[in-house]
């Protein structure tokens, strides 16, 4: 299944259409997808609107030209300067994007909450981090956990596969989770937007 981010939803201030095809894959983990970078001119930097109305400036995006499958991800922070880190989770596209200093450095296909325990939209600071964590509600491992809410919603490593869901958390491929964990700090913000596909 291929999904396209409408320009008004994805980026404001620039004409852009970003296609992120998501295809069902077997349960094996896919290697990182090759990428290039789309760099915006300094005089015309676009911005992403967050659920709280705030805007985040975007300096560059990863240019992913091949389909991303469940379990695959892109990570390329070469040449990206240090700076604030934030994440954008798009439930309608089943993707997460990681930004540092305004540059997208990573993207992955995600799992999100099932109907009875949906992933809540909003903007959340990372409250806690743990490399090795086990859910006390579901007695399940949550490696590379980044807690977003006091009731247990977090980003963590998962077996990202077609047909799977979480209890509200955002599941990401394990190697992507390791890379994200190395970047993210307490207080970094995560914007969760969109509604899950019907």
**Residues taking part in catalysis:** 156, 169
| DSSP designation for 111 | B
Cα angle: 94, vertex 131, 146; to 5 degrees: 40
CA gap 116, 108 in Å, rounded: 24
CA–CA separation, 107 vs 64, rounded Å?
A: 9
**198 three-state secondary structure:** coil
Q: How far apart are CA 194 and CA 100, in angstroms?
A: 22
Residues in a beta bridge with 123: 191
Q: Pull the structure tokens for residue 198.
A: 């019907």
- Give phi and psi for 53, each to the nearest 5: 90, -15
């Amino acid at each position: 299944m291929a999904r396209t981010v409408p320009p008004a939803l994805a980026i404001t201030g620039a004409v852009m259409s970003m296609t992120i095809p998501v295809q069902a894959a077997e349960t094996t983990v896919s290697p990182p997808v090759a990428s290039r970078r789309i760099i915006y001119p300094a005089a015309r930097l676009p911005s992403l609107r967050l659920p709280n109305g705030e805007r985040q400036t975007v300096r560059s995006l990863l240019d992913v030209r091949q389909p991303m499958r469940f379990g695959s991800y892109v990570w390329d922070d070469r040449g990206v300067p240090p700076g604030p880190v934030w994440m954008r989770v798009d439930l309608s596209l089943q993707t997460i994007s990681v930004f540092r200093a305004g540059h997208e450095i990573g993207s992955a296909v995600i799992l999100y909450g099932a109907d009875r325990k949906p992933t809540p939209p909003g903007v959340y600071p990372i409250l806690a981090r743990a490399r090795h964590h086990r859910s006390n509600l579901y007695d399940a491992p949550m490696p590379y956990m980044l807690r977003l809410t006091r009731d247990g919603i977090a980003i963590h490593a998962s077996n990202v596969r077609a047909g799977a869901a979480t209890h509200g958390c955002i599941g990401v491929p394990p190697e992507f989770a390791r890379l994200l964990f190395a970047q993210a700090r307490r207080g970094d913000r995560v914007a969760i937007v969109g509604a899950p596909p019907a």
